[in-house]
Amino acid sequence: MVTDLGNYLHISPGTDIPRVVNAIVEIPKGRRSKFEVDKETGLFRLDRYLYSSSHYPGDYGFIPQSLAEDNDPLDILVMVNEATFTGCLIEARIVGLFRMRDRGANDFKVLGVPHRDPLFDEFQDLGDVPAHYLREVEHFFLTYKQLEGVAIESLGWGPAAEATAEVRASVDRYREKGQVKD
Ligand SMILES: [Mg+2]
């Protein structure tokens, strides 16, 4: 079966790849409901209410026209001071990479900030991000599937250069493979 991201296929991966990307928000910051794009209809669907009593530490979604190692678009977490909404496009500057494994497979998350927001002007690389925020994000991803019995392993944080390499590889992979196929 051929699956795709429906309405999101035509959206460019970003205005200055690999440093500035388009993030399509699925789950706004502070939410516990896991919304995701339904690959068959292109609509946002409620996948589940997280089993763990925790909430997303930033706006969370994906970079269109990218393909990560898990055969899904590359995941992105955007630090925001105010949650946006499901379906919102954020022009995000990449500052770091959280490397984790979900059931033994790489499932990396790039970390971004709103590119044109002056409150984030000083956020250019991982070292500019408050250390405690990085601990929060790591703790969230290590525990959010715990009550589902899913093992997540942290491989730690990488700097912006590693994150942009991941963006580049994922955009190239998408261009090579075309659409996502099951
Ligand atoms: Mg993923």
Whether 24 has a pLDDT exceeding 50, the answer reads yes
pLDDT at 67: 96
93-127 in b/e form (b: 16+ CB < 10 A) is bbbbbbbbeeeeeebbbbbbbbbebeebeebeebe
Per-residue pLDDT band for 177 (boundaries 50, 70, 90) equals confident
Cα of 72 vs centre of ligand 1, distance in Å, is 6
Burial of 134 (0-12, 13-18, 19+ CB in 10 A): middle
With cut-offs at 50, 70 and 90, classify the pLDDT of residue 39.
confident
More confident residue, 15 or 7: 15
Please provide the size of the chain in residues: 182
Q: What is the pLDDT of residue 2?
A: 40
DSSP code string of 106-161: E--EEEEEETT-GGGTT--SGGGS-HHHHHHHHHHHHHTTGGGT--EEEEEEE-HH
Question: Residue 163: is its pLDDT beyond 50?
Answer: yes
Query: pTM value?
Result: 0.93
The protein residues having their C-beta less than 5 angstroms from ligand 1 (an ion) are: 70, 72, 75, 107
Confidence of residue 8 (pLDDT cuts 50, 70, 90): confident
How far is residue 56's CA from residue 34's CA, in Å, rounded to a whole number?
9
How far away, in angstroms, is 108 Cα from ligand 1 center? 7
What's the rounded mean pLDDT across residues 152-158?
Answer: 97
Amino acid at 91: E
pLDDT in tens, 53-111: 999 999 999 999 999 999 999 999 999 999 999 999 999 999 999 999 999 999 999 99
The answer on pLDDT for 120 being more than 70 is yes
Spacing, Cα 128 to ligand 1 middle (Å):
25
Looking at residue 86, its amino acid is T
Q: Which whole number is the average pLDDT over 101-124?
A: 97
Q: How far is CA 22 from the centre of its chain?
A: 11
Would you say 152 and 140 are in contact if contact means Cβ atoms under 8 Å apart? Answer: no
pLDDT given for residue 100 in this prediction: 97
- Taking the centre of ligand 1 as the mean of its atom positions, its distance from the CA of residue 16, in whole angstroms, is 22
Cα 156 to its chain centre, rounded Å, is 16
Tell me the pLDDT of the chain averaged across its residues.
94
Domains defined along the chain, listed by start: 6-171 (3.90.80.10)
What's the pLDDT at 179?
Answer: 57
